[in-house]
Structure 1
Amino acid sequence: MVDFSFGQGPTKEVLSYFRDKGWKPSFSYKDVWGSEHVYAFTVAKATEMDVLRTIRQSLDEAIEEGIPFSQFKRDLTPKLQALGWWGKKTARDPLTGEIIVAQLGSPRRLKTIYRANVRTAHAVGVYQRAQRTKKALPFFLYQLGPSEVHREEHVNWHEMIAPVDDPIWDSIFPPNGWGCKCRVRQISKAEALRRGYSKDKIPELEMTTWRNDRTGEELDVPVGVDPAWDGNPGRVREALLKKKLATSTRTAKEVLKKPVPSSGSRAIPDAFSTAKKVSAKSFSDVLDKLPGAEEQVEKLARFTKANNIKTLFLKQAEMGRNKTSLKIAEPVKNYLDKKDVAYPQMLYTTRAPGRANGFTFLSADHVVVKVKARTNPENVKTEDLSNAVNIAYDKNKSGNTAWSLSSIVRNLTESGDHGGALVTWLHEIGHQVQFKAKLDRKPGKTGHLTQYSATNDYEYHAEHFAAWVLNRSALERFDPEAAKYFDDLIESAIHD
């Protein structure tokens, strides 16, 4: 069965709707109701922020990049399992105090989460786009989706035509329930008339009363629409945007008064980037502002300049061996000054781009870092980066060692993937520092700050080098010998 996708990619309305949501951990889907879903992102039984954030990041990527459910499930499942949010577990209902066996993550739940969020976001985009184009296309045509079995009421609404702003769309704008694949198509007045449109044909909806047993609230919902699915998230979203516009106190003059940050030490001398807001300067500016890291960043800048280290910031599809990556082969080859290379894709692609956040290799003078179209260095909080080393230290000492510094920033901080991309860059540069210093082994007796650093000597160098740049004092607290080792290692790499 062909699953839902955005085809050529989502509209700006779809992405902004999903990204503008707040957060609302909940125990039951009945705890967050109706239009509340427009304002807040929630997943039933996801009461911990790290779980909720992980699911949201995966959905954001799926919506933005048109990732099918099969890949969404494959990428998200191990992350949720690592967080302990998988299978059936006993949990206390915060409302009743009752201990129940709760279904956490499962393939079926992931499918429900994926379809509900992706289809609702798409519906919002359809409605908001219609508000801009309704003069030319003033009607919606209700259509059944590709389900094998349809609800009787949905079959009755099939081919129904009503004006874009007709009140009926406040109640039955699809999707209209769990698993509903119905949709609307915006049509012209001429097509509406050809199809026999008449205002008298717009049906009267039969209503039924439903009681939310968690809140006690009684609601009238149309027969054929699952409770909590009645309503029109696109119209609620439109009202919210109008309110924001009316109450906004930021003026154009205030925006223009904001100072432009200086270029700083340019730890990243230059970069080839396919993400609009990612550049050598934008991420270098973040490094310049790292608290207490001035000396490390200065040495880092000397290293990248002395060794002419180049950086490729690429999206996941561009890192795979496919037609998408082939499109950038020529400009990448020119940027890396590898004009004689017969197969330039080998310089920046990998067999498993979904699992790799970045990579480099011994014979290279460049690093490859995976970013997303939405990655924005302005969303990185420098305290998140430096604190990631403290978190790694605390987890290590408690016997619950984190997988990597990048995973800490991506999953446990507000900087998320924005900051995670920069930590990945530092990790890959750590490999290059080791390569240029011509050292194959880590220092004698030393611990491993993260699980990834224990994988082999190369990953030891990469992880601990990133920690050294981000928060040398925390690394020294963990292992004084390691902090001193990296002081000397980068000097050796600069002069060699």
Structure 2
Amino acid sequence: MNDLFDLLADGEIVFEEAVKYFGDKLPVTSAEFHKLAEEYKSLAFTVSGYTKAQVLKKFHEELLKAIEDGLTIKDFKENMNDFLERRGYTGLTNFQADNIFRTNVQTAYQVGHYKQMTSPEVMKLRPYWMYDAVHDSRTRPSHLAMDGRVFRADDPIWNAWYPPNGFRCRCSIVTLSERQVQERGLKVESEPPVSAEVNGRFVNILPDPNFSTNPAKHAFKPDLTDYPPALKKAFEKRQKSQKDG
């Protein structure tokens, strides 16, 4: 069975919210990105190792195209490598392409999923959320420690533990009705877990660095009054580019 990421990447699922979320992201350099407060990082887009605005813009365009049109990682890598190599850069490795593609597309998908799961109608019928991690050797122990944990949909834990919670994270959220929780004998927790034993060793239950916020809760707003200089500058560049184009 395909996971949620594969369904999106294959064009079987496209959320308008996902397209809007990623389309609104402002390309900035890695140095500028890491200076941003956590609350603003979901509004910015960067790719480590690249600083030129034209290159970052191309990465952003290709990923947005993938979300809109269901392009595959192979398509993305071929398009980007053609662009990069014509400009004297070394092409992306399979690992780099997968990391960039999966992390960004998965984030956009999860934002779209969040918008749908939090609609009043869905919240009324399915008021519980369960963290769902993939069980294989690639899954981080801290993510496995969250697997199967159930909290109310409006619990503050989802402000930090809403996937993706790391680069190439494949975790997702499953919505549950009151009856499903009771029939499955699931425990609804109300306190964030601190540590747990996973595969014979204790781990601290924390999202990966820079992945402890819910990107769906920080929407881009045209009023940039309180935005950091890097985001203001990126927005002005975009506006100028659109005007000149």
TM-score normalised by the chain length of structure 1: 0.40
Where do 5+ consecutive residues of structure 1 fail to align? 88-104, 208-221, 245-380, 385-412, 420-496
Who is 1:115 aligned against?
A: 102
CA–CA distance in structure 2, aligned partners of residues 179 and 148 of structure 1: 13
- Aligned AA for 2:137? E
* 1:56-97 deviation line (CA, Å, top 9, x unaligned): 11001111111111121122211111223326xxxxxxxxxx
* 1:236 pairs with 2:218: yes
- Tell me the secondary structure at the aligned position of residue 134 of structure 1: helix
**CA positional deviation for 1:187:** 2.0
- Aligned AA for 1:206? V
Who is 2:160 aligned against?
A: 171
**CA distance 1:29–1:5, shift in 2 (3 Å):** farther
Does structure 2 retain, via aligned residues, the 8 Å contact 1:153–1:224? yes
Does structure 1 retain, via aligned residues, the 8 Å contact 2:133–2:143? yes
* 1:138 pairs with 2:127: yes
Does structure 2 retain, via aligned residues, the 8 Å contact 1:5–1:68? no
* 1:217-241 deviation line (CA, Å, top 9, x unaligned): xxxxx7442110111111223xx56
**CA positional deviation for 1:184:** 0.6
- Give the number of aligned pairs: 216
- Choose the corresponding residue for 2:173, options 174, 180, 184: 184
CA–CA distance in structure 1, aligned partners of residues 80 and 56 of structure 2: 12
**CA distance 1:32–1:84, shift in 2 (3 Å):** farther
Does structure 2 retain, via aligned residues, the 8 Å contact 1:146–1:181? no
- Tell me the secondary structure at the aligned position of residue 105 of structure 2: helix
TM-score normalised by the chain length of structure 2: 0.76
Q: With CA pairs under 8 Å and 6+ residues apart, which has the higher RCO, 1 or 2? A: 2
* 1:122-170 deviation line (CA, Å, top 9, x unaligned): 1111111122121222121111126433222222221111111101111
* 1:55 pairs with 2:37: no
Who is 1:4 aligned against?
A: 6
Does structure 2 retain, via aligned residues, the 8 Å contact 1:139–1:163? yes
**CA distance 1:147–1:31, shift in 2 (3 Å):** farther
Who is 1:70 aligned against?
A: 74
CA–CA distance in structure 2, aligned partners of residues 68 and 21 of structure 1: 21
Does structure 2 retain, via aligned residues, the 8 Å contact 1:171–1:230? yes
CA–CA distance in structure 2, aligned partners of residues 109 and 32 of structure 1: 23
- Tell me the secondary structure at the aligned position of residue 131 of structure 2: strand
CA–CA distance in structure 2, aligned partners of residues 131 and 123 of structure 1: 12
Q: Which has the larger radius of gyration?
A: 1
**CA distance 1:186–1:125, shift in 2 (3 Å):** same
CA–CA distance in structure 2, aligned partners of residues 76 and 147 of structure 1: 30
Who is 2:142 aligned against?
A: 153
* 1:264-308 deviation line (CA, Å, top 9, x unaligned): xxxxxxxxxxxxxxxxxxxxxxxxxxxxxxxxxxxxxxxxxxxxx
Who is 1:273 aligned against?
A: none
Q: How does 1:184-223 map to 2 (within 5 A)?
A: 184-199=173-188, 201-206=189-194, 223=205
Cα-Cα RMSD: 3.0
- More off after superposition, 130-139 vs 48-57: 130-139
Does structure 1 retain, via aligned residues, the 8 Å contact 2:14–2:68? yes
CA–CA distance in structure 2, aligned partners of residues 58 and 146 of structure 1: 30
- Tell me the secondary structure at the aligned position of residue 116 of structure 1: helix
Percent sequence identity is 27
CA–CA distance in structure 2, aligned partners of residues 28 and 58 of structure 1: 21
Does structure 1 retain, via aligned residues, the 8 Å contact 2:111–2:216? yes
* 1:5-27 deviation line (CA, Å, top 9, x unaligned): 41523111101111112232234
Q: How does 1:19-418 map to 2 (within 5 A)?
A: 19-27=23-31, 30-32=34-36, 34-86=38-90, 105-132=92-119, 133-145=122-134, 147-199=136-188, 201-206=189-194, 223-237=205-219, 413-414=241-242
- Aligned AA for 2:41? H
